[in-house]
Amino acid sequence: MPTLVEQRNIKPLALLVISVALIAGMTTYSFASIQRYGTLLDESEQIEKRLFALTRFVSLLKDVETGSRGYALTGQREYLEPYDQGRIQIGQNMSRLRKLMSGDSALFRQFEQLSKLSDEQLQNSGRIVAQGFMVPLTAADQLLLDDGKVTMDQLRDHVAGIDEAQRGLLQQASGAASRQARFTVAIVALGISLSLAVLGLLAFFLNQEVIRRMKAESDLGDLGTELDDHTELDDRIKLRTGQLRKNEARLSGILAASPDALIVVETSGLISFASNRLQDIFGYDPKEIIGKPIETLMPKRFRNGHSGHLRQFLSAPQAREMGAGLQLFATRKDGSEFPVEISLNPETEGEDLSVVAAIRDISERAAVMESLRQATNKAKMAELKSEFLANMSHELRTPMNGVIGFTDLLLTSDLNEEQKYHLQLIAESGSSMLVLLNSILDLAKIESGKLKADNAPFDIQEAIGSSSRLMRVAAEQKGLALNLKIDKDVPQYILGDEYRTKQVLTNIVGNAIKFTSSGWVSISVSVTGAPEARKIEITITDTGIGIARERQKEIFDEFVQADSSIVRRFGGSGLGLTISQRLLEVLGGGISCESEPGKGTSFVVTLPLIEAGPLRDDSSDHADRGAEPNKAARNARILVAEDHDINRVLITALLQQLGYHPDIAEDGAIAITKIEQAIAEKQPYSIVLMDLQMPNVGGMEATRNVRRMGVSGEELPIIAVTAHAYQEDIKACHTAGMQDHLGKPIIKDDLGRVLEKWLPASMGAEKALV
């Protein structure tokens, strides 16, 4: 098969061959024509020469005959000269004629005939001349002369025959020569024209070829330039291939690391690619799912509507979350459903459009979210419960304060024994109710996460000691010994929450006394744990009724008692241990129980041990100076800010019993006005007893305003009167600018002590002001 280059060369080459052949043919043919023309011309020339020689021969022969005859008839010798000359030249002429007529046999035979007649004539003339002057003529002379004449006439006729034939031949040759000349000219002209045409065509194709070659050369030049860059191109290809491989490796790394299963879905709805994660998430081998409809991965109930969604996405393709705001589900190979998150991305390659879907299994997250939701709900419920209980307990406390306060007031009046006993029962019931209210409130606070433990230095030995002292009366009343033993290595000051520690101890020791009818209760304190995690261990042991093994865990649950007879025999709510355990969790400690029914119980309370330095004693300035108010103090001006009518009557009555004459403000705003007025009239108050929850302006806000007015705690101590006597409440009171707090229900002795504690300082300040 010829190559492209060979194919391209065929036309000019053929033309070249044709033109060369044509020119060669034409030239040969023309040359042959010219030769033929030359031959014809030569032939004509020969004939002409022959005719001329014949004419000359006849003429010379006539000169010989005429000369011989003239001499014979005249006897003059002059006639012999043409005779002699003729005879000589005839010889030459005859040899010439012989040459000219020897080429053709017929012609040569005519020449021989002519030569014979010529010889006869010459012989006749010779004889005449030999006779000399013949006049008078003899018959023999006459015959001789006549013979000469006859031969001459024969000769003339023979020459005329030859001449005529030769002239005919000449005419033929001339015609042929001229025809040949015309033909040759035509042939040469045609040959030249044809050659020129072929050469023109050849030139055209050659020109085309030259143009093509030039273009090819230029292309070749470009290609050459490109080829010059070949090495660089090669390097670039290698580099690019390397990058592509790297990218490919990176992509498969990303796909492997991605928590999502990635699939590509074609417009037909068929899956054309799936990453290996599909196996982990769906249980399908990626190869197995390719070519399957996307609906294979969906729960049956969503399959029908899906093609519509796909069309919708393809009509306006843009990256987005699928089913934003909706919970999407997918189906595993085993048919199980699970929640997913799907992000869609359009992929275009040329005119082809497909969808890349990243599917994330969110089962775990959904489970976490669900538990979070439940926890949040629980927390919300606990918060609502806490709020409700806080409100309820406040609402219950206020009348309870009235009951307890007035009972307390009545108990100091003149009563008979029975009345006193009844009143004491009312007071105890009120106190029990308050304890229960406080417990419920505590539990609600713990459950809502609102209870925050204090982390301040306190005297742990004193805290345990005071709790023990507090419970000693109850123990002694039951004839029980209450022993306290604190190991030597127990530090005095630790970081923690004093109030809550005391609350727990009071509860556990209270239980020990409550559930022990004879024997003893002991409190022993020691340090345990590794040096880096030391703990204070407080063990409260009793010789009481004990707790059955199977109930020892449950008693820490809310409202649970060891058995149903407990409430009848000992009362209680079943909240104490729950609260203690929760409080200890908040404090970073714990509680455990060991018991043998009928023999006794041991509760072990642990607290984290973080030693603290000695406390700064700032209570010396306002030392408790005893319940008896001094004279100066009794003249003190006391302002009571209290919105509740009964509480106002109670506190007024209590203060009057203590020898004071208070002013009353019905809310915080009135209190501020009264304080301002008193200062302006230079009769400032010595102390303010401030309720916290009041309409318009509450106790905290009123205190902050008073402090902002520039009235210091030294000049005017403000005592919070509150049912919320928790550590955080007390802290908040101090932050607002209050100096102390008094818990509700107000007990006369407590009130007296607080006034005694704070009045002397303000009285001094009062003096300074006046």
Rounded distance, CA 534 to CA 487, Å?
14
Sign of CA pseudo-dihedral 378, 381, 387, 388: negative
Q: Which is nearer to ligand ADP, 129 or 577 (CB)?
A: 577
* Interface segment toward ligand ADP; rule CB under 6 A; list 23-31, 325-333, 566-574, 720-728: 566-574
CA proximity to 571, closest of 740, 412, 439: 439
Enumerate residues 599-638 that contact ligand ADP by CB under 6 A.
Answer: 601
Tokens of 617: 């004693």
In the complex, minimum distance from the CB of residue 493 to ligand ADP, in angstroms, rounded to a whole number: 29
Q: Which is nearer to ligand ADP, 514 or 748 (CB)?
A: 514
Give a three-class secondary structure readout of 421-447: HHHHHHHHHHHHHHHHHHHHHHHHHHH
Helix (H) or strand (E) holding 388, with range, is: helix 363-411
DSSP characters over 103-133: SSHHHHHHHHHHHHHHHHHHHHHHHHHHH--
Q: How far is CA 78 from CA 75, 135, 275, 678, in A?
A: 9, 17, 147, 210
Instruction: Cite the beta strand spans of 571-730 per DSSP E.
Output: 590-596, 600-608, 638-641, 663-665, 687-691, 718-722
CA proximity to 353, closest of 291, 295, 269: 269
Contact 667, 714 (CB under 8 A): no
In the complex, minimum distance from the CB of residue 541 to ligand ADP, in angstroms, rounded to a whole number: 9
Contact 559, 575 (CB under 8 A): yes
Q: Which of 572, 699, 737, 760 binds ligand ADP (CB under 6 A)?
A: 572
Q: Which is nearer to ligand ADP, 525 or 575 (CB)?
A: 575
In the complex, minimum distance from the CB of residue 470 to ligand ADP, in angstroms, rounded to a whole number: 17
Q: How far is CA 363 from CA 263, 356, 543, in A?
A: 19, 22, 54
Enumerate residues 640-699 that contact ligand ADP by CB under 6 A.
Answer: none
Binding mask 366-405 toward ligand ADP (x if CB under 6 A, else -) reads ----------------------------------------
Q: Which is nearer to ligand ADP, 409 or 593 (CB)?
A: 593
Q: Which is nearer to ligand ADP, 124 or 507 (CB)?
A: 507
Q: Which is nearer to ligand ADP, 274 or 475 (CB)?
A: 475
* Interface segment toward ligand ADP; rule CB under 6 A; list 70-78, 192-200, 478-486, 576-584: 576-584
Q: Which is nearer to ligand ADP, 525 or 679 (CB)?
A: 525
* Interface segment toward ligand ADP; rule CB under 6 A; list 411-419, 447-455, 570-578, 736-744: 570-578
Rounded distance, CA 429 to CA 581, Å?
26
By the rule CB under 6 A, 434 interacts with ligand ADP = no
In the complex, minimum distance from the CB of residue 522 to ligand ADP, in angstroms, rounded to a whole number: 12
* Interface segment toward ligand ADP; rule CB under 6 A; list 176-184, 466-474, 525-533, 575-583: 575-583
Give a three-class secondary structure readout of 79-96: HHHHHHHHHHHHHHHHHH
Q: What's phi and psi for 493, nearest 5 deg?
A: -110, 130
Size of the residue set binding ligand ADP (CB under 6 A): 20
Q: Which is nearer to ligand ADP, 484 or 612 (CB)?
A: 484
By the rule CB under 6 A, 555 interacts with ligand ADP = yes
Q: Which of 447, 497, 542, 715 binds ligand ADP (CB under 6 A)?
A: 542
Q: Which is nearer to ligand ADP, 568 or 767 (CB)?
A: 568
Q: Which of 60, 575, 650, 697 binds ligand ADP (CB under 6 A)?
A: 575
Sign of CA pseudo-dihedral 106, 111, 114, 120: negative
In the complex, minimum distance from the CB of residue 546 to ligand ADP, in angstroms, rounded to a whole number: 6
In the complex, minimum distance from the CB of residue 614 to ligand ADP, in angstroms, rounded to a whole number: 34
Find all residues with CB under 8 Å of 502, minimum gap 6, and list them. Answer: 463, 466, 467
Q: Which of 191, 402, 496, 544 binds ligand ADP (CB under 6 A)?
A: 544
Q: Which of 155, 460, 547, 694 binds ligand ADP (CB under 6 A)?
A: 547
End-to-end CA distance of the chain: 134
Q: Which is nearer to ligand ADP, 593 or 747 (CB)?
A: 593
Contact 736, 703 (CB under 8 A): yes
**Exposure letters 701-733 (e unless 16+ CB within 10 A, then b):** bbbbbbbeeebebebbbbbbbbbbebbbbbebb
In the complex, minimum distance from the CB of residue 521 to ligand ADP, in angstroms, rounded to a whole number: 8
Q: Which of 404, 444, 577, 633 binds ligand ADP (CB under 6 A)?
A: 577
By the rule CB under 6 A, 440 interacts with ligand ADP = no
By the rule CB under 6 A, 545 interacts with ligand ADP = yes
In the complex, minimum distance from the CB of residue 437 to ligand ADP, in angstroms, rounded to a whole number: 14
Q: Which DSSP letter does residue 642 get? A: -
Q: Which of 264, 441, 562, 672 binds ligand ADP (CB under 6 A)?
A: 562
Q: How far is CA 2 from CA 6, 14, 556, in A?
A: 6, 15, 106
Q: Which of 33, 354, 511, 762 binds ligand ADP (CB under 6 A)?
A: 511
Q: Which is nearer to ligand ADP, 566 or 718 (CB)?
A: 566
Q: Which is nearer to ligand ADP, 151 or 511 (CB)?
A: 511
Rounded distance, CA 691 to CA 703, Å?
11
In the complex, minimum distance from the CB of residue 474 to ligand ADP, in angstroms, rounded to a whole number: 13
Q: Which is nearer to ligand ADP, 15 or 480 (CB)?
A: 480
Q: Which is nearer to ligand ADP, 313 or 515 (CB)?
A: 515
Please give the angle made by the CA atoms of 45, 47 and 50, to the nearest 5 degrees: 110
Rounded distance, CA 220 to CA 225, Å?
8
Q: Which of 407, 438, 539, 561 binds ligand ADP (CB under 6 A)?
A: 561
Tokens of 764: 């001094």
By the rule CB under 6 A, 576 interacts with ligand ADP = yes
Q: Which of 283, 339, 574, 590 binds ligand ADP (CB under 6 A)?
A: 574
By the rule CB under 6 A, 515 interacts with ligand ADP = yes
Rounded distance, CA 369 to CA 372, Å?
5
Tokens of 37: 């023309």
Rounded distance, CA 400 to CA 427, Å?
10
CA proximity to 575, closest of 444, 440, 384, 391: 440
By the rule CB under 6 A, 721 interacts with ligand ADP = no
In the complex, minimum distance from the CB of residue 485 to ligand ADP, in angstroms, rounded to a whole number: 18
Chain residues binding ligand ADP by CB under 6 A are 511-512, 515, 542, 544-547, 555, 561-562, 566, 572-578, 601
